[in-house]
Structure 1
Amino acid sequence: MPLLPEARMVLHASETWKLYVVTGYEPRDWPVHSFGRVSPVPDVLERVAALAALGYAVRGGIEWKWDATTGPRRRLFAKISVRPLTAPVAVPPVGGAA
């Protein structure tokens, strides 16, 4: 099972590359960025910039894993684990034990 959130870049039915952030909610609620083209394939720097514009950053390394859907209309997609840019930070309590 993938670790959410996860970014996926797909060649959309509109014949353009789109980047989605799969958050676990309904697909209509997923943040999305369209690159507005089919060629060339958006490079890693473009993907990172698109993620930042959507409020996310890559978690861990920057290597995207390529895969394809199953079935008669196979679609190529890339995926990577991401985190919100404004991830909560644990702050230790001030002072000592009461």
Structure 2
Amino acid sequence: MQPVWQRIHQEALAPYQRHEIGGDEFLTRATKPVRDFMLKHTRKKDLALFVAMGQTEKPQNPDAVALTSIIPAFAISELKTAFEIGFVLYIPFI
């Protein structure tokens, strides 16, 4: 996550603090790195589930996927990974 936060600082926060961009532009620039990170680390199956649950058209490209679908899909993917790791660590103690 460190590279993501550095990118947000360089592309969004620093210009915002220097009053070079407004709040809307700050949010637009700040969400791009987070969106890219979450899409990279989200299982496609989980993302497809939340896109379908959102009852929206199938996005043509990753930039068209709404954050309201990406965020819960990322959370579910991370939870699945955590449970898998926990299970693998637990097995030797059985």
Q: Which has the higher helix share?
A: 2
| Pairwise TM-score range, normalised by the shorter structure | under 0.3
If the length of structure 1 is used for normalisation, what is the TM-score?
0.26
Q: Which has the higher strand share?
A: 1
